[in-house]
Structure formats: structure tokens, C-alpha cells
Amino acid sequence: MLPITSIFACLATMMYIVLAFRIIAIRRAKRISLGDGADPRLETRIRQHGNFNEYVPLTLILMGLAELQGAPTLLMIALGLALLASRIAHVVGLERMAVPIGLKLRTFGVLTCFAVLSVLVITLLAIALF
């Protein structure tokens, strides 16, 4: 029933698992079971994972609702690709904050994610009201 959302949910889940394993690797290597142990690299990875968890579920819910209500297929694919690109850019940007490209990628990631959410809200409201 929701083939496009399903595909992007699966791709996002794979990214979620990668982000989780990156945290686990540092925790095991440094023997930090709780918190970040004042390790800046672990703190960054925790935030990468946390930020992903803060935005992706809501976006996927909105994508599913839009797809169920007949939003155009190409729009849904474009939004799914933009969501993944935004989250990848955010992860890479946070990882590289010490260099100028880091802030640019992080900003791109945040703004693109907000744009995806905004387009989904407008799409859903337009479908519901018109």
C-alpha cells in the first residue's frame, strides 16, 4: 500500500543501524557504557544519531500519510531522496565541524530536512482542504 514510503523507511532504518553501530564501536573501544565519557567524538556520534531520531520518524509518518492520500509519485520520491540526503549531509557536517565544509553540510542538512517537512505539510493540507 505504501511502496515509496516503505522503501525510504527501509533505507532510513539501514542508516539508523549504521549510526548506532558507530556509537557502539566507540563505546566498546573506550569502555564507556553511559553518556559520552567526555569524549568529543562519541558526543558527536550521539548527536548524529539523536538528530536522526528527532526528524526521520515524523517525516516518514507525513510521507506515509501523503502517499496514502494520493500525493504524486515523483514528489514522494524526490522528498524521500531529499530526506536521506539531508540526514547524510548532517552526519558528515557534524563529523567535520572543524573545517568550513562541515558547517555548510550541516546547514544544508538542516534546511533540506525542514524543506521536506514543509512541503509535506503543505501537500497534506492541500489534499485535505481541496
Domain count, the chain: 1
**Contact 127/69 with Cβ under 8 angstroms?**
yes
Q: pLDDT tens digit string along 30-52?
A: 999 999 899 999 999 999 999 99
Enter the DSSP assignment of 31.
T
User: Per the confidence metrics, is the pTM higher than 0.75?
Assistant: yes
- Closest listed residue to residue 122, CA positions, set 81, 62, 58: 62
CATH number for the domain including 13?
A: 1.20.120.550
Q: pLDDT tens digit string along 52-110?
A: 999 999 999 999 999 999 999 999 999 999 999 999 999 999 999 888 899 999 999 99
Q: How many helices (H) and strands (E) does the chain have?
A: 4, 0
Q: Give the domain range for residue 31.
A: 3-129
